Structure formats: C-alpha cells, structure tokens
Amino acid sequence: MSEFFDFLGRRYDDLIEVGLEHMYLVGLSVLLSTAIGVFIGVTTYRTERPREIALAVTGSFLTIPSFALFILMIPIMGIGAPPVIVALTMYGLLPVVRNTITGLREVDQATVESAKGMGMGRTQRLVRIELPLAWPVIVTGVRVTALVLVGIAAVGAIVDGPGYGTFIFDGLARVGSPAAINLVVSGMLGVIVVAILFDTLLAVLGKLTTSRGIQ
C-alpha cells in the first residue's frame, strides 16, 4: 500500500497534467454534445416521426462498442485527441437529446398558450419560455452525459488520446510487473475524481442557471 502512495508521490505532476487533459477532453465533448443535442431536441420535439428518428439514431451510437469506434475513426481522423472528441460527442448525444425532448414536451401547455396569446413569436416562446422551463431536465441530461463520457474517454487512449486512459493502457502493457497495478489503480481513481468534479460543477452550474421560480 505504501508503495502505491510512493508511486502517487513520484508521479504527482504527471497525474495532475493528465487529469487536466482528461477534463479538457471530456469538457469539450460535453459542450459539443450539449450544443448539438439541444439543437436536435429543439428541432424535433414537436413532431412524432423526427423525434423518434433522433432518439433512435443517437441511441444507436451508444450501442457501438467504444473500442471499435475509436479504431474506426483512425482512417478518417488519425490518432490523438480529435477522433476521441468526435466519438465522445457522439456518445454524449442521447442523454441530452432525450432530456431536451422530454423537458420541452413537459412544459405546461397553458403557459405556452398564454405566451402565444400575448404575442410572442415561435422563437421568442422557445427561447424565453420553453427552454428556461425545460432547463432543469436538460441539465440532468448533461450531467448523465458527463458521467458517461468521463468513463469512455479513458478508452480513448487506445488511439493515443490524452487522459487517465494512458495510465490504464500503460498498466495493461506491463501486466505482471508491480507497476502495472499502480498504473491501473491510479488511472481508475483519476477517472473517478474527474467524474465527481464534473458532476459537482454541473450541479452547481445547473442551479445557478435555473430560475428560482422553478427550483
């Protein structure tokens, strides 16, 4: 055990740097998933067919094994961060799209009708009434996305992506040596810490961006 703490002490700078990379990778992907996912949700929630297609397609992304998807990305995007970000963004879409659609559909229709009756156009209604009211549900979706992506991002090391996955794959390459366990465990703990950080951050952000009137 003390040997593990020695390892952490020795690789401290490294662990922090890799952690920041991991957070950057996930942060950017969550941002992209959110932007694209909310857009898809907003454009499809009103009508049944497009809505179902959006959910089916983004849902099917999640069924692709991450290992396979990363490798499939190589011919198109090479190796490093870019293929990882694209793959993560795809994985992150479903929770955001689903919650955006659910959130928007759950907005009380009387509220929307009174907005319409007061002379708000379609875009104004969406931006000023529907999205703010659906926001807590959307944020919940974003939090799920963040948790899912923090884990999957580690696998991205297979295509030389940055983050705690590098520790885990290094460990994998040295199975049998004493360092292997240290590498894998520290990589795993790093992933957990990043996950907790993201979830806390998003929870606080969600609270700050949600009107007190609906909390």
Partner 1 sequence: MTEQTSTASSAATAPGRTMIKLEGLGKQYPKEPKPAVDNLTLEIPEGEIVILVGPSGCGKTTTMKMINRIIEPTSGRIILGGEDVTKADPDQLRRKIGYVIQQIGLFPHMTIAQNIATVPKLLGWDAKRIDARIDELLQTVSMAPETYRNRYPKQLSGGQRQRVGVARALSGDPAVMLMDEPFGAIDPITRDRLQNEFLRLQAEVRKTIVFVTHDIDEAIKMGDRIAILQEGSRIAQYDTPEQILTAPANDFVADFIGRGASLKRLNLSRVRDIQLSQWPTVQLGDEPAQVLDALRASDKGFALVLDEQRRPRRWVSAPDLQRGTDRPLDQIGLPPEAIVEPQATLNDALNELITANYSVAIVVNASGEYQGIVDIDSITEAIRAMRTDARARARVGLDEDDTVDEAAQVGR
* Chain residues in the site for partner 1 (CB under 8 A): 108, 110-121, 124, 129, 132-133, 210-214
Nearer to partner 1, 132 or 151 (CB): 132
Q: For residues 2 and 123, which CB has a smaller minimum distance to partner 1 in the complex?
A: 123
Residue closer to partner 1, measured from CB, 7 or 135:
135
Q: Give dist(CA 33, CA 20) in Å, integer.
A: 20
* Alpha carbon distance 75, 68 (integer Å): 13
Residues contacting 172, CB < 8 A, separation 6+: 180, 184
For residue 103, the minimal CB distance to partner 1 (Å) is 13
CB of 134 to partner 1, least distance (A): 10
Closest to 146 (Cα-Cα) out of 19, 31, 59? 31
> If we measure between CA atoms, which residue out of 94, 93, 86 comes closest to residue 161?
86
Q: How far is the CB of 52 from partner 1 (least distance, A)?
A: 23
Minimum Å gap between C-beta 132 and partner 1 is 5
Q: Residue 188, Cβ neighbours under 10 Å: how many?
A: 15
Complex with partner 1: residue 31 or 127, whichever CB lies closer: 127
